Structure 1
């Protein structure tokens, strides 16, 4: 049953790939994304939340997600130099912002709904609250800290730091409250607090919400197909970074499950699948905001020209590969669900991804050049690494 469902999902993704030719500009694809995130996904989460019973144990779910994000951030900071990425470089800052972030709405929620049901989707939506706090607030503050630190280093001007950060953080909080998914979660939790459920709504409203929720899975799968875009530049490096991210997420899921031996199969799969969500677009939005500030600084000659805080091209390429990469992993997990119900199987898969991420770099570093003796080689840069692997 799971395999047949996976095949049908892949077919919808392939249809989306074929539909890509019909898209004449990015605005058309953006319109599909707006329909998903503003209508189909909120309706689905709203229906799912109103069908479950809220208990105190669910309050720990956002905290677990936040802990996971922080661990991934610290791991990225420690491990990126091992991939040839220089510490405190634009590439390093870009990847550090992207790897810990999660975007379950487009890459994870549709499959959770189809394979695990509405109750698991509701739990995933609550878990995502912690991830949203991390992605929208903590990563923004980190991005701005890097920007102002570099500007002070170049110019020593920090007069507008407090005002700018306060203003932009206020705008982010407003965006957080106005986001349809967050509004739906708050509304549903308030209704549940009063003892209301989906049946408490008028029939016409129930029917409208349910019909909108039905759109989510096919729309998301078509969107994944239409959004897939591969670029050869930096592809090998990004693939290794995403493999490292996936491997560490599998290991953290396995570690968590060892402390929850009585978890149901649905809870086990949810704990494995949710951390495998694609990288979020919000860090790229933060990077774009910083890039705009740097452009203003350059126009006003407020500091010397130098390396930017972030590499936007690297961020876009990472996002482009992250969505199909995560989709394939999630579909594989659900297709082989019985295998992943054992925690050490999950840990074994995690180690496998870490090996995939590490072996090419180790080979490039240890392989001697032609006509030379084997000597200890210096650390290689991203460009050198990509040239060796090509």
Structure 2
């Protein structure tokens, strides 16, 4: 859903245009189904717009608006549809509820997954579901930032809390924050909806603020590691999409990193299995951006490595090869893909999300800014 100039507010221009088209061409009873994530009350707006358009054209037909939000993840949409844990349907009559049951009957043979509710409740359910998942991500990132400062490995903490069935293991992987087309805009939209209704949703506003801060941590750690001396340096970036199995870069943490590096005069050598074309579409051909054919080629002439996306191919990286390839032994891992002990064994300074061993002391940082990795390793 496009956004307008108000932060978090949805632009319903296209939705209204479709409603007017329906009102112009409707020729009998119809069920108009909302699938998109739309603000609470959009169903009412659709019904009103269709009725007004029919009146203009002298039409009089019965119709009902139904909300049937989708809960599909990028990269697994077909599986999510076929094996959905629940199918939310907002309907105002038994006629519509029965029609929707008939529609989904092939997917109800093993169990009844339909959850019926009011139209406005279904609209809010979609937002609330995404906001809950975003909240879990921001929560674990807050814990990770605290763990890092206390010298605690957040992965041990994560394992401990994930074993509680009330919490579970999903969406509590610390990292560089969430991105994509849903979580950022939906959290902001829910915050805006609350404020428009005269209520300040403090927790949801904090979820958004924490995520913005978390997306900046990749650059902040790199900036600190080089004592702010980034101009003219070259950095390898592994992963550009906001998550694996997609080329989507909407609000991806990599974008904040790239733009901050360029602003500070750095050069970037980047690789992503799927998002290279999207990067080119977004940023064009820049002298300070080179898109590479493999993770290994991105390391050539690089001063340090930053991991933005948890593509499985990156997890197989050989720490000894990283230490050999990088001019400075620095890896900033925004997805906690590597074992800190293994990285330390190969004399790599490993900056991850909430890994206590990743915090280098001032003497190490001072040495790094003075000489390349090969000189440091030779001295050791």
Please, what TM-score do these two structures have when normalized by structure 2?
A: 0.22
Please, what TM-score do these two structures have when normalized by structure 1?
A: 0.22
More helix by share: 1
The one of the two structures with greater contact order (alpha-carbon pairs below 8 A, sep at least 6) is 1
Structure label with greater radius of gyration:
2
